[in-house]
Structure 1
């Protein structure tokens, strides 16, 4: 596989934002899976880690969208229309996820009557408590989190399929 030219690759900021968001999403998932029992020091640590990672994902996602509007991505690798559609749809879903999921998380905590506490930065509240709405938003946040295990997994599998089966530069363009 030839190394993609500069015109075929994503820009350095786009690559950096992609992988930083990937690591933060992975950390947010790890944190939510690792938390311990309610009231434990482990739960407090992993919850704080989850909040930090989620808020960081939101900030970097907004920067990524702004960068993408400034610097267009390279043209997609030629593919049949159905694969092009699936690629576009999955990327759109991923962008929606990395922006909506942290917002839903913030709303979940605030609607439960708690501020978001970010060690070193203080705390903030976007909305006041509404326990009934909070339960619904929490359910949506958790359901999206579970659904996106699959979407993220399929995204990664598609990249590996392009790299190892199709042997094109799709993956190499973002590395």
Structure 2
């Protein structure tokens, strides 16, 4: 059995990571930019978000095809259970967030595009629906900070405290 994830899994993981950072940074930093630059920040956020959606679907399909390499030494079953829970939350979060973002812009009712492709929008704007969906989008995105933090902390804890191969399994580079 292999000791690392496949090159495809590692690439998808780190590409999603970069796109999530891009999406979060675009929203957090847009308030510091002049108003004339805000559409660029919004477009970056939407483009990163939609890209994350498709890559997370790809990650899920690849994850179904390829089993995770074993953690050595093997952790306690409770740790494995918590890990599976956190990973499930991450997958759900980064599939649901782009859907909610898409619906927010859809109900805004104005023309918009992604990658130069014109996207559908409501014929009549529905501000109530837009703001309701946007509030869920923002809530889940804010929870995302904590979930991502827990995920990163756990990887580092595995590496530096428990000294197992959890983190090394997802690092790019040569195979063991």
Q: Does the TM-score normalized on the shorter chain lie above 0.5?
A: yes
Pair 1:110–1:11, CA change in 2 (3 A): same
Task: Kindly provide the CA deviation profile for residues 115-138 of structure 1, in whole angstroms up to 9, marking residues without a partner as x.
Answer: 4422x4232026554322222111
Gapped regions of structure 2 (runs ≥ 5): 172-176
2:4 match: 9
1:53 match: 48
CA contact (8 A) 1:17 1:64 kept: yes
Question: Does structure 1 residue 72 correspond to structure 2 residue 67?
Answer: yes
CA contact (8 A) 2:20 2:52 kept: yes
Distance in 1 (CA, whole Å) between partners of 2:168 and 2:122 is 42
1:149 match: 145
Distance in 1 (CA, whole Å) between partners of 2:113 and 2:84 is 36
The structure 2 residue matched to 1:27, chosen from 19, 22, 42, is 22
The structure 2 residue matched to 1:99, chosen from 69, 82, 95, is 95
Gapped regions of structure 1 (runs ≥ 5): 1-5
The structure 1 residue matched to 2:156, chosen from 160, 168, 175, is 160
**Secondary structure of 2:164's match?**
coil
Distance in 2 (CA, whole Å) between partners of 1:130 and 1:123 is 19
2:38 match: 43
Give the structure-1-normalised TM-score: 0.88
C-alpha RMSD over aligned residues: 2.0
Q: Any runs of at least 4 consecutive aligned residues in structure 1 with deviations exceeding 6 A, and if so which?
A: none
